[in-house]
Amino acid sequence: MDAFELSELINQHSQSIDAYLEFLRVPALSMGMYKLSAGGIDLQEPHTEDEVYYILSGRGSIQVGEENRAVEPGTIVFVGANVEHRFHSITEDLMILVFFAPAEYTLAPENENIEEE
């Protein structure tokens, strides 16, 4: 069994300089924590997998396609594969729990030949 304590993941992530900390990866799903500082810029590109964001803390907004909405603790946002999206107008540091299905980058074009082997 894989089990995780949110407080431990937040502590581990706070000691990292990376914005994203993946903590679970199986073929059908991957999970991680994503942090963005107040006033920061989210540079992510569309992913080849479906994605769910769960806002743990902080405040800001997200744009998904042409739609914008505010996010705060407890907000859950679904983003379909290959859809442009990014967080913006971040007024309080965001800590976000991220779910990818299937696992992040498994459907990326550079992985197509690997799956066929």
The pair of three-digit structure tokens given for residue 75, joined into one six-digit string: 């907000």
The pair of three-digit structure tokens given for residue 35, joined into one six-digit string: 């942090």
Instruction: Enumerate the β-bridge partners of residue 32.
Output: 22, 98
Query: What's the chain's Rg over C-alpha atoms?
Result: 14
Residues 104-116, mean pLDDT to the nearest whole number: 68
Instruction: Enumerate the β-bridge partners of residue 70.
Output: 61
Phi then psi for residue 31, to 5 deg, are: -135, 150
User: How far is the C-alpha of 78 from the C-alpha of 95, rounded, in Å?
Assistant: 16
pLDDT of residue 19: 94
Task: Return the C-alpha torsion angle 25, 48, 83, 57, nearest 10.
Answer: 10
Please name each of the domains of the chain with its CATH number.
6-116 (2.60.120.10)
Residue range 42-101, pLDDT digits in tens: 999 999 999 999 999 999 999 999 999 999 999 999 999 999 999 999 999 999 999 999
